[in-house]
Structure 1
Amino acid sequence: MVKIFALKRCILIPALAFVLLVSGCSDADNGKISPNQDGAKAPPSAESDNGSRQGDSAVQVIDQQKALISRVMELARQGKVVNSQFAAEETVIDDVEKEWGRPEKTDYVPEAKGNFASYTGRGVVIGYNKGSQVFDIRSYDSELKKITLSGVRGVLGSPAHTSSYNNQDILGYTAGDKFKIRFVFPRSTTDTTDPALDHVSVFYPRGTVNSMSEDPGLEW
């Protein structure tokens, strides 16, 4: 009996080992991967994916603002604004009226040294002197609302001129040899520390000079 039991034991142990070996190979062949297998990676979480998309969107907005500010400055060097074909210095008010018709209203502004014709439907105000020369073009185009105070400083650096007027903060930069540009923002508050642009003004200072009355005109 002892010999028979020992013989059975000798047969069962190798058989059991063989079964386990075959089972392991079968799992591997079927592509089953152990949860603890080295190299297994968890899928990215929804939170990390959303964070990545938000980061990309923020970068895109910043890039768009930089491009818009650069475009505004390039036009300013030509005496122009984004939604007007007219250039300061070279244009007289009659040229504007031939193309756009009569303005909705015209106001004389003594401290600004001229008349200002408002084309409200176009989002443009045209300033001209006694000789009808256009010296100031202001754009209120909705696209400009994408520009922020910090964005202007970030792209153009420290302004050559700053001032405050009628609850507005103004940043002034030179635009070539003849023109200047003023970025006009609502005044910053505790609730709005980085306001969006209200309008830009492309300005030709020499157009405000009146030699006959010895008026040196405006620098800004």
Structure 2
Amino acid sequence: MNIPFFLETLNQMFPDAKAELNYANPFELLIAVVLSAQTTDKAVNKVTEPLFIKYTNAESLAKANLSDVESIIKTIGLYHNKAKNIIALSQILVEKYQGEVPDKRDQLESLPGVGRKTTNVVISNAFGIPALAVDTHVARISVRLGLAKEGDTVLQIEQKLNRKIPKEHWLKVHHQMIFFGRYHCLAKNPKCVTCPLFDACKFKDKRK
């Protein structure tokens, strides 16, 4: 894959790509990303609106009743564990970080329900620290376009993308690759016929 061509193509297709989760500060972003696991951003936005009205910061969510939080987020997948995690991580934010979201990777990854992908999203979007989060869309199109290999782990895909793509592009490319996977190179029925990256694509089932 010719990286300059790849970046220019994404810029032409999705010049304004950005996070589709609704949030107003690092705390809301962290909670929204934790809730977004195996769930659509659209579904998360529906529950975070009332959630953030009732619980405006880490201090208030740390004191929340589990059943109350569950009742608000029950329409998303894994809501029971997610409710426990966002209350527990809020308690840690209050106890260890004065209610603020830390910007250090190890500190974020030590929080309940927070893994590497969530950490990458938070540090890049909330704090401007270069990071390229790999979700299912990014992983899928990385393999299809030959930027990674079938069978690579999420970490291996991230490392390969980091080596190939200049650091200053990581944040925007993350969102653009999500848009490319979500709206163009779909898991089923990808839009190969109109794809400007068709010739570079390694996907064995591509069709034109």
Short-chain TM bin: under 0.3
More strand as a share of residues: 1
More helix as a share of residues: 2
Q: TM-score normalized by structure 1?
A: 0.25
Larger radius of gyration: 1
Q: Which has the higher contact order (CA 8 A, sep 6+)?
A: 2
Q: TM-score normalized by structure 2?
A: 0.27
